[in-house]
């Protein structure tokens, strides 16, 4: 497999590891939004969060709850974002499930989305379609 994250897990590529247990690994992003920006991955290869088994997602969530406060304390951040890109159109570059733990600062001005309001009646229609698809 030619997955850069799998190579990091296997020890074939270097990384700045900050956390590891039997199921997950966390290391610094080499292109950080802010210092301390950490990637959290399952050690097993799955392309997206939806492909990843629930037990691994639970392990990732438990690890995230340990890592995020440590990142905040280490870099004296004011807050943090959890970023999850699923698929190329969403900005996923490495096709291995990963979560971004991004420390944020009150004045860093890193905007995540442009936040445009729905057109008249659009929100109700979209909500109905999502609900219908959940039931399907």
pLDDT tens across the length of the chain (136 residues):
799 999 999 999 999 999 999 999 999 999 999 999 999 999 999 999 999 999 999 999 999 999 999 999 999 999 999 999 999 999 999 999 999 999 999 988 877 766 788 899 989 999 999 999 988 7
| Reported pTM | 0.90
Give the C-alpha distances (Å, rounded to integers) separating 81 from 63, 99, 109, 128. Answer: 15, 10, 13, 28
* pLDDT at residue number 107: 87
Give the C-alpha distances (Å, rounded to integers) separating 25 from 17, 35, 129, 130. Answer: 7, 18, 37, 33
Indicate the domain borders of the chain: 4-108
* pLDDT at residue number 50: 97
| Dist CA 25 CA 16 (whole Å) | 11
* pLDDT at residue number 101: 96
Q: Which of 96, 98, 100, 129 is catalytic?
A: 98
Instruction: Determine whether domain 4-108 maps to CATH 3.30.428.10.
Output: yes
Pairing status of strand 24-28 against strand 79-83: unpaired
Q: 110 catalytic, yes or no? A: no
């Amino acid at each position: 497999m030619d997955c850069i994250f799998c190579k990091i897990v296997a020890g074939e590529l270097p990384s700045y590891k900050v956390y590891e247990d039997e199921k997950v690994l966390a290391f610094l992003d080499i292109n950080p939004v802010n210092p301390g920006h950490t990637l959290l991955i399952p050690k097993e290869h799955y392309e997206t969060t939806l492909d990843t088994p629930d037990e691994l997602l639970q392990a990732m969530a438990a690890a995230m709850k340990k890592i995020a406060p440590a990142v905040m304390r280490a870099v004296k951040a004011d807050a943090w974002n959890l970023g999850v890109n699923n698929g190329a159109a969403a900005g996923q570059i490495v096709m291995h499930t990963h979560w971004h733990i991004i420390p944020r600062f009150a004045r860093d001005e890193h905007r995540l989305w442009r936040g445009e309001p729905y057109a008249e009646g659009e929100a109700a229609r979209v909500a109905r379609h999502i609900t219908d698809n959940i039931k399907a």
